[in-house]
Amino acid sequence: MQQQKKGVSVWFITGAARGIGLALARQALAQGDAIVATSRTLASLHLVFDEENPNVLPLEVDLVSETSVQAAIEKTIATFGRIDRVVNNAGYGQQGTIEALTDAELRRNFDVNVFAPLHVLRHVLPYLRDQRSGHIFNVASIVGFQGGYAGWGSYVGSKFALAGLTETLAVELAELGIKATVVYPGPIRTGFLSSESLVVAGRTIDAYTEAKASLDLHLNGLDGKQAGDPEKLAALILHVAATAEPPVHLFAGKIANALAEEKMLTIHKNLAAWRIASDATDFTE
C-alpha cells in the first residue's frame, strides 16, 4: 500500500480513457493527486497513461457487474489506502422515441447510466463513511435537468435519475462529512455523439419527425462542434473539489446555464398559473 502525502487526494474516475474522464484524470495527476482510472479495457488506458507512474492505477472494470466494481474498489484501497473523490462519469447516449425503444435497449441504458454508478456508490461509501470525508461527483447532463428533447427519453430519464439520486445523497451524507455534486454539462466536444458512442434504437417510426430531425442534427450538425471544452470542465470539477462548501447542482457551460434558467422560468410560470387550483387539492380542515 502506498502512503499518500498530506493534501494529496485519491480520485476514482470511471470512463477515464477519453473525454471528460481523461481530462480530469490528467489534471488531477498534474496537481499531484493519485488517480484510479477505470475503463472497459486496460488497453485503452495504457494508450493514455504512463504505466510506470505510481500515482496511476488503471483498472479494467465492467461497471454493470457489481462483482467487478467491488473488486476495483478493494484494489484501490489496497493500493492507495483511501478514496477521496469519486467521479461517476461513464455513460452513453441512447437515442430513440419512447414507443420505439425496446425493453432491452432501455434497460441497458439504465444499467450503464444509473445502476453502474449505484454499484460504485454501494461499495465506496463504507470507506468514505469510515473516513468521515470524501466528495462524490455524478456526471449527468443538462438533459438531466431540462429534458424536452424528442427522441432522447431513455438518456434523459437516466440522467434525471442520477440527478435525483445525488440530491438524496447530499442530504444523507451531510452528517458524515461527505459531499455530493451532480454535474450538468451542456454539449461537450468529446466523442459522445460519434457512431462509436451514441446508440440509436433499432426501430424507428416515421410519424415522429421531431425525433428524426433531432438525431440528424446531433449526428450531422453538432458532432465535433459542441461548445463545451472538456479540459475546462475538468478544471471546474477540480476547483469545486477544493471548495469548502461545494454546490449540489453544478451547471457547466453557457448553454447549460441558459437552459437551466429557461426551465426554472417555465416552472415558476406553471406554479403561478395553477397555484390556486393546486392549493385547493389539500384538505380544508
Q: Which residues are catalytic?
A: 155, 159
Q: 3-state DSSP call for residue 279?
A: helix
284/185 Cα distance (integer angstroms): 44
Partnered with residue 11 across adjacent β-strands are: 35, 85
**Residue reference for cell 467491488:** 70
Distances from the Cα of 269 to the Cα of 40, 149, 260, angstroms: 45, 20, 14
DSSP string over 114-155: IIHHHHHHHHHHHHHHHHT-EEEEEE--GGGT----TT-HHH
Helices (H), the chain: 19-30, 42-46, 66-80, 103-110, 116-131, 153-173, 209-216, 230-241, 254-279
Residues in CB range of 260: below 8 A, 6 or more apart: 142, 145, 146, 184, 251
Q: In this structure, are residues 209 and 149 in contact, taking their beta carbons and an 8 Å threshold?
A: no
Q: How many CB atoms lie within 10 A of CB 219?
A: 15
